[in-house]
Amino acid sequence: MVSEAGTELHTEEYNWAGNLRYAAAEVREPRTVAELQDLVAGASRLRALGSRHSFNRIADTTGALVSLEHLAPAIEVDSGSMTATVSGGTRYGTLAAELQRQGYALHNLASLPHISVAGAVATATHGSGDRNGNLATAVAGLELVTADGGILTARRGDTPDFDGMVVGLGALGVVSSLTLDIEPAFPVVQTVFENLSWDQVLENFDDVTSSAYSVSLFTDWNGDRIGQAWLKARTEEAGGAERASFYGGSPAAEARHPIAGVSGSTCTQQLGVPGPWSDRLAHFRMEFTPSKGDELQSEYLVPREHAVDAIQTMRRLSHVVTPLLLVSEIRTMAADSLWLSPNYGTDSIGLHLTWRQDQPAVEAVLPAVETALAPFGARPHWGKLFDAGASRLAPLYPRFADFKALAGRLDPEGKFRNGFLDTKVFGS
């Protein structure tokens, strides 16, 4: 259906996992920034909708939803400043392929290349690697359609409160484009090891996570073995693809999927075969349905100093979480200065939980998981299922009050507010 304004109009929309139906009466899909500005200016309540990979209602509203999926990617590379500017609704897989074609790279990718750039940045979505910040740390500039339909341009180093605007949770406006740091393209080899020893990994945790450019550990938290370790090594790094064993684990003989029993054919190339960063840093291939689909997700980011203790705590919770799990992933991220980033001020590990699609059962165990991880200052991923409200989240973020004040200045009438933000950010 096409509206009088020329934008696509849809109703009765669901998120990617199918666990929630959006409350919005309509989803509009402008094809130009000018159309987007008109939509924002004319709405009383509005939220931006990314690739729908959030598992909670962060992107929902009782007003209008707006998707930027039909805006042209508008990928522009500036080799002088080593940046690339792209429209907010563009998916990382699309951007990565074009950058690789031109000989450039992003510093990292999330496990799924299917997610939108603006949505991933707004929620501080991440890949892995001890020295790698989350995806939002690459943002050098952004353009925001504000509540009155105007354009606000912000640049790192030039704009006051820029670090508060990047991980904006959609509370400040609609991000129409972003400028990202880029670097020369680089090849990567990916090797999977199976059945690692928990004891060896925890005794040598720093060595494990620094053994490649990006390292992921997959487990169900049960028993004394870790199911898989995925090592993504830049080819100039020594040893990543040449190991005969890895902390008690052996190289996989064929392509693996993180979830047991699922074909590895949908995953990016493994087995130590070199290839472009754009085809290795994500876990899943752009041309296939990502991950498993019928699942739910939660994730908690824990300061690196508490990594081993937090992991041991999760192992002790196995009787609670394992029966509901498809798989869990452990990753690492570098510290940043973005106000609402779960990595603000601290190197972190991510404790990711991919749940079976039983939302009542999952929501029933989340308080126990969060209580157990609370002594470590665990911060939940903004786009996934978690229980904590604003009163518990605020003490975890030194700039929490500053972000609320920034939102009040940019959106004084609360046009971009919704139930999720009222509960998780603006509530008492």
Please tell me the predicted confidence (pLDDT) of residue 4.
Answer: 42
Encoded amino acid at 253, one letter: A
CATH 2.60.40.1180 for the 76-185 domain, yes or no: no
H-helix or E-strand spanning residue 302? strand 295-303
Please tell me the predicted confidence (pLDDT) of residue 288.
Answer: 81
Q: Distance between CA 256 and CA 102 in Å, rounded?
A: 30
Q: Distance between CA 145 and CA 172 in Å, rounded?
A: 9
From-to residues of CATH 3.30.70.2520 in the chain: 187-382
Place of tokens 């609402």: 340
Please tell me the predicted confidence (pLDDT) of residue 208.
Answer: 97
37, 29 Cβ separation under 8 angstroms: no
Rounded (to 5) percent helix, strand, coil in the chain: 25, 30, 45
Which of 3.40.50.261, 3.30.70.580, 3.60.20.40, 3.30.43.10 would CATH assign to domain 8-67? 3.30.43.10
The full 3-state SS of 220-276, as one line of letters, equals CCCCCEEEEEEEEEECCCCCCCCCCCECCEEECCCCCCCCCCCCHHHECCCCCCCEE
**pTM for the full predicted model:** 0.95
128, 211 Cβ separation under 8 angstroms: no
Please tell me the predicted confidence (pLDDT) of residue 2.
Answer: 38
Please tell me the predicted confidence (pLDDT) of residue 293.
Answer: 62
Q: What is the pLDDT along the chain (428 residues), one digit of tens a residue?
A: 334 445 554 556 888 888 999 999 889 999 999 999 999 999 999 999 989 989 999 999 999 999 999 999 899 999 999 999 999 999 999 999 999 999 999 999 999 999 999 999 999 999 999 999 999 999 999 999 999 999 999 999 999 999 999 999 999 999 999 999 999 999 999 999 999 999 999 999 999 999 999 999 999 999 999 999 999 999 987 555 568 899 999 999 999 999 988 999 999 999 999 999 999 999 999 888 665 568 999 999 999 999 999 999 999 999 999 999 999 999 999 999 999 999 999 999 999 999 999 999 999 999 999 999 999 999 999 999 999 999 999 999 999 999 999 999 999 999 999 999 999 999 96
Tally of CA atoms within 13 A in the half-sphere of 16 that contains its CB: 23
Please tell me the predicted confidence (pLDDT) of residue 242.
Answer: 66
SS3 category, 382: coil
From-to residues of CATH 3.30.43.10 in the chain: 8-67
In sequence order, the 6+-apart residues with CB closer than 8 A to the CB of 191 are 230, 231, 233, 240, 241, 243, 251, 252, 270, 271, 272
The class level of CATH for 187-382 reads alpha beta
Please tell me the predicted confidence (pLDDT) of residue 291.
Answer: 55
The full 3-state SS of 49-91, as one line of letters, equals ECCCCCCCHHHCCCCEEEECCCCCCCCEEECCCCEEEEECCCE
Packing angle of the helix pair 359-373, 307-316 (nearest 10 deg): 140
From-to residues of CATH 3.30.465.10 in the chain: 76-185
169, 122 Cβ separation under 8 angstroms: yes
298, 366 Cβ separation under 8 angstroms: yes
Q: Distance between CA 384 and CA 342 in Å, rounded?
A: 13
Please tell me the predicted confidence (pLDDT) of residue 13.
Answer: 83
